Homo-oligomer: A and B are copies of this chain.
């Protein structure tokens, strides 16, 4: 099959790879009508996460089940399914508490890589959620978005306790930040402040439900949020970047007693204890337990209530994956959709 391999910093290649096969009796093989590039793929692409050997890329997937292992009970060939970047049994105590991304049997969700024509998915019964029917093609990018960026933005909004009566601020205008805006809107937040200085992203943020845009960053951004909230800070702030500056901007933009939900994969971040102690904020986040949210998200997409796939502003053939990475790296594209 055609797949994608990262060899080193900025060296990502479309290649012929072996077709994935059932390895464990709990596996499924799915065919991917679309696939995509994640903002988190840019960490190894940029060399910030070290790449010691060639690695198959892609961890977002939605597609048609081709084959299942002998122990798979709930998923069957022909179904259209959505999964997430960690495979989980969905039965352990951690999964039952809604933290499937920390399942005691956690595995990579698509170990053979999902920027490809096919993918092997471990723990298929626990990991995959089937849609009511096989969707029309135009629905598939929205469902694909549910498998990571939407699920991650959604978790950010849940962790930040976005809801009615709340002012929510979102740090980061990547696909996750934009979908955190959409999530906060769905959860009924009163006011949603998107922090962005890019016109096209501001526009999408407004379309997703942002009521205000703040262009300032760092301490100036914090000051603007305070000015807009009677000096108190937002009730809920979603951190969707993962850098020290973004995390501090999030903590400092939150009022005492408020909630920071952080979903940017933290890189080189140290949270200073004394400042955090006196900030009085709640801090929660990490890898989104997308599986918790998938039934609800699939339902919203199926009913046409949300269109998260709008974050895909560049579509390329799978063979041109390298250009897809470049466009996101240079911020020419929010998120690249790939067509095998």
- Residues of A that sit less than 8 Å from B by CB: 93-94, 97-99, 101-102, 104, 230-232, 244, 247, 255-257, 262, 265-274, 276-287
Contacts and interface: CB of A to CB of B under 8 A. Distances in A.
Contact of A266 (B231, B244, B255, B277): B277
A277 B156 CA distance: 12
Contacts of A257: 94, 97-99, 102
A232 B105 CA distance: 12
Contact of A231 (B98, B104, B230): B104
A251 to B, nearest CB: 11
A282 B262 CA distance: 11
24 contacts: A94-B255, A94-B257, A97-B256, A97-B257, A99-B280, A101-B280, A102-B256, A102-B280, A104-B232, A262-B277, A265-B277, A266-B276, A269-B272, A270-B270, A271-B273, A271-B276, A276-B286, A277-B287, A279-B286, A280-B286, A281-B284, A282-B282, A282-B284, A283-B283
Contacts of A255: 94, 97
Chain B CB count within 10 A is highest, among A101, A256, A286, for A256
Task: Pick from A277, A284, A287 the residue with the most CB of B within 10 Å.
Answer: A277
B286 A283 contact: no
A310 to B, nearest CB: 27
A257 B256 CA distance: 22
A271 B94 CA distance: 23
Nearest to A101: B280
A165 to B, nearest CB: 11
A278 B283 contact: no
A219 B267 CA distance: 24
A181 to B, nearest CB: 22
A101 B278 CA distance: 9
Contacts of A286: 256, 276-280
A176 to B, nearest CB: 14
A267 B274 CA distance: 6
B262 A266 contact: no
A149 B128 CA distance: 49
A294 to B, nearest CB: 17
A274 B284 CA distance: 13
Contact of A273 (B267, B273, B274): B267
